[in-house]
Amino acid sequence: MSYYVYILANRYKTIYTGVTNDIRRRIFEHKEGLVQGFTKRYEIKKLVYMEETDDVRAAISREKQIKGWLRAKKVALIESVNPGWKDLAEEL
């Protein structure tokens, strides 16, 4: 089974980091506003970064690591693979 650490953004580049075992389902839930809370309130729907692993503990650890970073480091991570902040969900 695969696990994904992902970063979503809105049009103002407000970002959210999460983890899931079903990236397609989870992104659908965010895009449709089915996830209550921060992402729904700020319309954070665009998948701008993701990593895949087969180790659930590694995924959870990586999510916590990224969440602990300063915003600048998160932005640098996103821009290292997605400089235009395009929606990677279109490629899923």
Residue-wise pLDDT tens digits, 9-43: 999 999 999 999 999 999 999 999 998 999 999 99
**What's the residue count for the chain?**
92
Report the sign of the C-alpha dihedral through residues 45, 46, 51, 54, in that order.
Answer: positive
- Could you report the per-residue pLDDT of 58-73, keeping only the tens digit for each? 999 999 999 999 999 9
Running DSSP on this structure, what letter comes out for residue 12?
T
What's the predicted TM-score (pTM) here?
Answer: 0.96
| Helix H or strand E segment including 53 | strand 46-53
Domain span at residue 16 reads 3-91
d(CA 82, CA 1): 25
Q: Are 71 and 15 in contact (CB under 8 A)?
A: yes
Q: Is 83 helix (H, G, I), strand (E, B) or coil?
A: coil
Q: Structural domain tally of the chain?
A: 1
